[in-house]
Every structure is written in structure tokens, then in C-alpha cells.
Structure 1
């Protein structure tokens, strides 16, 4: 049985904010729905460290913090975009949540300290297939383009994290990853299984021309 949770309030965000930060859309909401579907599973594991990569508006980190509740859980978020870190703080405050976003690329300054310590990892990556020049330019600019430009198959940035994943998760740890069909989700599943992890598509939805899904990647088998 899933647990119903309210969508975080983002009414404080303005058109000017969305010039610099990705506006929550169907890919954001399918991720919230996936976390809601697994709410009992997540809460039952009593996570200590939860991490979102690329917090953007802060809607997902805020939702995750609400999901795990006022407990011993530490919810971390990162973003390469300084404006996104500021907006994440505002979203957390608007929802009476405490977050401490970290300005960095992916998990670069944290990877060694998070080794085998991440209970929940959440990533709505830049998944749109683009040329490498566009990917490198948007990553260098550290602005809104970095939220969607994903290079070949939309997987260049995602693959960096997937390669690190076995070294990040706790024995009961789980990652929730947003994908589109162009990312070749079945190939992702095979790749993660080759690394000894269990990967399952837990929700799928069409949004306009995009066929979105969320993969749960874990060490343990779950229904």
C-alpha cells in the first residue's frame, strides 16, 4: 500500500526563477510518484543518509525530507547551479523543511565520505540526447541547460553516477533514477545487474513525446 503525501508548495517560485532553474514538469512528478509508491519501503528501512543529485527547484529534496519525516535522516542535495541551490533553500523554507544544498558537480566532493553510506539516492538527470559540444557547454555554464543536456543517448552524466553506485549504497540502499526511452532503460538494467545490483522499472508514463520511467536500483530484492 502506498502512502499519500502532499506535493511540496512551489508557489513562491517566479518566472525569473525559471529562467535559471528547471521548472518542475512531468519528469519531476513521476519521480515524486515513484517515491510515494515506495514510501513504506523507504520509511521501513529507516534511512540515515538520503541524497538528491541536481536539486533544481528543490521540490524532490523537499518531498523526500517530508517522506522520511523528522527523524535521524540526513537529506543532502547537490547542484552545479548556484541559483538552484538558493532556490532549493527557499523551497525548503516555504515547506518548513531544513535542507543544506551543496554547490558542486554531481557528488564530486562527497564521494569518498559517502562510500557505502547512502541509503536513498535520487537523480532526475539531464537525460535529453544532445551533441557533446552542447553537453560540455551547458555543464560549463552551470545554468538551466545543465538540467537537460545529456550527450549521447542522454546518458553521459548518468553513467558517471551509475559507475559509482556500487561504492555508494548501503546494503539496503536504493537509487531512484528517471529515464526516457532514448536512454535505453533495458540496457541500464542489464548494466546494473552486471554490477551485482537489482534494477526494476517501478513506474512508467507518457508525457507528450516522452516515455518516462523511474528505475529502482538496489542491492536487495524488493517487490
Structure 2
């Protein structure tokens, strides 16, 4: 399934199109705002792959951290638009230009989100603690010198510091605080970010995880990983499947094998 936005800003989902050809023509843009690229498309393709699960999930509050052009939050809002009780959407970005472009993109597609120009979710931690049912994040993941992190403007969209983890490591505990008991986190990682270690850290916080989309481009290997809370009485499949929690070790074995192999391959190159 792929998302195509035409020149008039119309939104369509095509079941018969390979996900890698997802395209977008912006209804609004700014030279200091990150335009959708392979990573954005991969994240939306992950949401489309989970489309039925997302609809059946009946989220009340959805959020994107780092909305950029608004491509991802608008796509999520359109996926869930058919819900009788439409969720309330939030989108944050540290770049004020991104907030304006996101607003234009949402308005062009007749969907709405509460927009905040803020660092990660600053100002929302108490208000939304334990309430977010779906969170999507395309973080700054590119390994860069630490001094480039958080400088604002366009570079804030990709500068991730050492191993690309400077911002990622700040977002994960925030997500843990905001996600509800049934909350899902869809987050994109570069292989250089060591997503296997991230999955292990999230497991220590009580989360299950799985790769929803895995994609190699000419420059990078991308993973969109979904995280959900696990409990003693919860089924691993409650995030959308039907596998009992006792089968979760098989899921971990799979994710370990996939991420370990890809990480080793990149290191050897």
C-alpha cells in the first residue's frame, strides 16, 4: 500500500503499488523545513501496513514528535478519518517554520491537529501523561558532531550526534511517560543507531517490539519499529495479532536475527 498526494493535494491509497514508490507533491514548503524523503515514506508505509490494526485499535489521542512538513501526521489522520469517534491529534516540532507547514498540509486535507512549537513534547508531559494511544516519530538519526544537535532550522531534522542517538535517547523515556497502557510507538531508526540495543532497552522498560518496515536505500538501511507495552496478562498479539505472550521469545529471536545481521553487514562495509 502507498500514499500518493497529487498536485491538488488529493490523498489516495493504492493497494497494488509497491511501497517504495510512495510519492508526495507538497501543498506547502519552506527552505528550512525537511521535505518528505525515503525515511518519511517508510514511516507512512509502516502505518499503512498496520492500517486495519490502527483502525481496530480505536485510538483516542495520537501524536507525532517532529512533524516537519506534516506528511506523516496528515497521513495518519487520513487513515483514521473513517473512525466514528475521530482521535485527537497532536504534532510538535522545534522548528517554527515546520509548525506552519504542517498546519497548511493538515488544512489542505481537511484534517486537524493541535500544533506546538516545542522541543520534543515540552509542555505536554503532565497534560498527556499516560494518554497517548499512538505515537509516531521520525527522529534526527544521522550521526553528526554533537555541536550540530539542536541548532534549529533544517539541521535539527537530521543531526543526531554520536551514533545518531543524542535526540533518540531523549525521546524514548518521554514516549514511555506519554503512552497509554495500550499505547503504540512507531519509530524510525538507522542501522547505525543500533536498533537492537534500543529494543533491548525498551524491553527492560516493559515493551514488546517488532520491525514493521525494513528498507535499504543507496545511502542507508532504515527500520520502522513498533513498540507496545507488555504485561503478565497481556497477549503479545494484542498489538494486532493473535500470538500468545508465551510466543514472544520467537518474536525476539526474529528481531534479533534481523537486526544483528543487518548491523553486522553495515559494520563490515
Deviation string for 1:37-65 (max 9, x for gaps)?
11111111100000000100000010010
- Structure 1 vs Structure 2 CA RMSD: 1.5
- Structure 1 segments, 4+ long, off by >4 Å, are none
Q: Say whether residues 1:13 and 2:28 are aligned partners.
A: yes
2:71 to 59, 66, 89: 59
1:214 to 218, 224, 232: 224
Instruction: Tell me the residue number matched to 2:211.
Output: 201
Instruction: Tell me the residue number matched to 2:264.
Output: none
Shift, 1:72, TM fit? 3.2
Whether the 8 Å contact between 1:7 and 1:63 is mirrored in structure 2 is no
Is the partner of 1:24 in helix, strand or coil?
coil
Separation in 1, partners of 2:177, 2:103: 28
Deviation string for 1:101-123 (max 9, x for gaps)?
11100001001111110100100
Consecutive unaligned residues in structure 2, runs of 5 or more: 10-24, 231-235, 242-269
Separation in 2, partners of 1:193, 1:99: 31
Instruction: Tell me the residue number matched to 1:147.
Output: 157
User: Which one has a bigger Cα radius of gyration?
Assistant: 2
Instruction: Tell me the residue number matched to 1:37.
Output: 49
Q: Say whether residues 1:168 and 2:183 are aligned partners.
A: no
Instruction: Tell me the residue number matched to 1:121.
Output: 135
Range moving further from structure 2, 66-75 or 113-122: 66-75
The higher-RCO structure (CA 8 Å, 6+ apart) is: 1
Consecutive unaligned residues in structure 1, runs of 5 or more: none
Separation in 2, partners of 1:165, 1:114: 11
Q: Say whether residues 1:50 and 2:62 are aligned partners.
A: yes
Q: How many residues align?
A: 213
